[in-house]
Amino acid sequence: MVADADFEADTNRSFLSRLYTGTGAFEVVAHRKQWYIVTAVILGICLLSMIVRGFTFGIDFEGGTQVSIPATSSSVTVEKVEKAFTQALGTAPELVQTAGSGSAKTIQVRTEHLDEEQANKVVNAVVAEFSPALQRADVSSSDVSSTWGAEITRKMLIALVVFLVIVTVYIAIRFDKEMAIASLATLFFDVAVTAGVYSLVGFEVTPATVIGLLTILGFSIYDTVVVFDKVEENTRSVFKTSRRTYAEQANLAVNQTMMRSINTTVISALPIIALMVIAVWMLGVGTLQDLALIQLVGIVIGTFSSVFLATPLLVTLKERNPAVAAHTRKVLARRAAIAAGEPVSSGRHAARHAVDDVPAGDAARPTGKRRRSR
């Protein structure tokens, strides 16, 4: 039984070898207080940004008029476009930003809804400012009503609520109470941090952003389920042995799945990075940057939380269980007795694990590699 084996870190192997084989003995769970501080700081910064800076909602949500101006000429700049707009209407636009690059680079001006006369004034003023490099046919404008924006917002919230309800039901059925609480807390962390990064960067929140958010939430749940499956496997018979605590078995599960989490993250992130470089930077498809950014941030945060938050939080909750707490005291008492040279009963596993053959130092801290019998 894995739960009855002695483990020790294989210091003769390289760091990458220990990471790949799951025998690195990285003390994630033992240092969970430090990881709680790190996650609290990250979460605090993101929540503060959302409260203070808020979000820049796209025209699809708020409604209004958007004017797109080609910026292929070096004379077409954000400052000059904003100045021409202000002189034409007497008020500054809500948002002026660039999108795309190269021949597909444009400057997008967003403002409250403009009637036909006001839109013509803006277009004429911009054309007059940059003529002859810019022709009237090159400038385009589009309108989105506030009613449409409200409908999009409502559908977005419905989609998010439905997703969270389905995930909550699945987690409640799939895991026990402590695992379910840890999974949902991790999911909340992923949502808050991903949204907070979007607030810090200042990108527009568009329908593509919502699609990306739902996608990365699924990834986060998947990674947490993988780690918790291994925790369940390692702790299934933890009470039948006094050699390892629940926390140590959970930490072993993190080590055994860490390389898989890293591989999954890298494989998932590479296409997104390619999307950002090729589609956004080289081809100038600015609308894809919303989808690419939120997916990249979500994948990285999801991997971090499944390793450094989900399992440590699970152990903290489990150790409040009287049975787990009593078992932990029993294991620590056994190690203290071995370290003091006192005789310890080896129980029904004596034939397989003779206590007298276990050095005191190894018994006191069993982490990492399964010991081979000689």
Most confident of 49-63, 69-83, 320-334: 320-334
122-175 pLDDT, tens digit per residue, is: 888 888 888 777 888 788 887 777 666 677 778 878 888 888 888 888 888 888
- β partners of residue 64: 144
pLDDT value of residue 181: 93
Residue 359 has pLDDT above 80, yes or no: no
Q: How confident is the model at residue 21 (pLDDT cuts 50, 70, 90)?
A: low
- The pTM of this model reads 0.74
